Structure 1
Amino acid sequence: MKPGRPGKVREVTNQISPAEAWQRLLAGNNRFVSGETLHPNQDASRRSALVNSQNPFAVIFGCSDSRLAAEIIFDLGLGDAFVVRTAGHVIDDAVLGSLEYGVSVLNVPLIVVLGHDNCGAVTATKNAVETGQMPPGFIRDLVERITPSVLTSLREDKTDINDMVVEHARQTAARLLESSQVISTAVDNSSTAVIGVAYRLEEGRAELVSEFDML
């Protein structure tokens, strides 16, 4: 791909709706939970077919936690998902640029904000809020960005970490629309939806916790 010409990265357009994209992810997650994974699109022919183009059907913006490998928990393969990950799925300019690329260049119909229970970044933020002691280095930046979600949960008397994880997924999804005109416009014209999803580590299930114009 030549610099300055991102449109050359693909040759086809998505033909599925945001709701259909979510159903496809959900079907893959159900296979993962039941132990009946298909491991699709992981062979040599798929690899060769993607050399000059890609056509992912979902953007997954998730936490960097090693237990949250998106392609595994949704039973996906090469070229299926455009994945962006940061600790605590915190948003910065690079994240927004990556997600806008997925929407405006790859025409992906669905953005999934993927959180998970027992999240270390959310736990660190809860501890910082309760003790008043901020962590060192750039971890502090993560905590500062997650703090609004923790404070909202505490105001609603939700003190469990996993309740805070759900709130943070919801707030992150909403913040994407507030922060990016590209994403909010795509949602407004129904070409893209943004959803929040919480993943349960023990059972392996991904649950929808918020949605913006899914239908």
Structure 2
Amino acid sequence: MFSDQTPAWEKLLEGNRRWLEDRSTGAGNRGAVRRAELSQSQAPFALVVGCSDSRVPAEILFDQGLGDLFVVRTAGHVVDAATLGSVEYAVAHLGVSLIVVLGHEGCGAVAAGTGVVDNAAVPAGYVRDIAERIAPDVLRARLDGATTPSEISARHSVYTLDLLRERSSVVDNALRDGTVGAVAAQYCLSTGAVTEIRAAVPVAA
């Protein structure tokens, strides 16, 4: 398991276990004292690239406090220029040790991308851009053997991690030299559990 090799991922998994067991402690680091400590600078230990879905708040489901996570959220965690810039800032300037791409079951954006593939159902407005960015991942997931919406969503997380590496030399170099680790993961709406789908280039010892 990747979690055996990087303290950052294990810390997130431990936080998720606390949240699942209703013994969260993260709220203690979200008050006035912690806010004052962070007023001049920040040093998050991990970056989470996730979906904008209101049911998937990374800080809560990983039971972390203010300043612990740098979070970038778009519908279906699609990657655009603003996403890439935010990710590079976290890696190059904030020194995060871990990148997590966090997908989830029941993702409406993935469903929209699937609708484009299956029924040529193209959404109106800028939602179309989101669906069309995800549609190629739906096709790729099926070629990789995914059949259910949950499996497609999980593969989409993996492909998003691949895309970050392909599009950003900052990210790829950090992964190659071992200063940053990366995990593609899936969140279950019904249980609240986070599951590792694939890991890449663990943090150097």
* TM-score after normalising by structure 1: 0.89
Mapped partners of 1:36, 1:149: distance in 2: 37
Structure 1: 5+ residue runs without aligned partners? 1-16
1:25 to 3, 6, 12: 12
Could you say which residue in structure 2 is the equivalent of 1:38? 25
Mapped partners of 1:37, 1:18: distance in 2: 24
Question: Which range is displaced more, 161-170 or 138-147?
Answer: 138-147
SS of residue paired to 2:54 = coil
Mapped partners of 1:68, 1:200: distance in 2: 9
2:47 to 25, 35, 59: 59
Preserved CA contact (<8 Å) 1:18 1:192: no
Mapped partners of 2:16, 2:130: distance in 1: 28
Superposed, 1:51-130 pairs within 5 Å as 51-130=39-118
Preserved CA contact (<8 Å) 1:18 1:110: no
Identity %: 43
Could you say which residue in structure 2 is the equivalent of 1:151? 139
Structure 1 runs (4+) deviating above 2 angstroms are: 153-159
Q: Deviations over 1:28-83 (max 9, x none)?
A: 00001111111241121111110111110000110000000011000011000001
Displacement of 1:155 after TM fit?
A: 2.5
* TM-score after normalising by structure 2: 0.93
SS of residue paired to 1:112 = strand
SS of residue paired to 2:102 = strand
CA RMSD of aligned residues (A): 1.4
Q: How many corresponding residue pairs?
A: 199
Preserved CA contact (<8 Å) 1:18 1:191: no
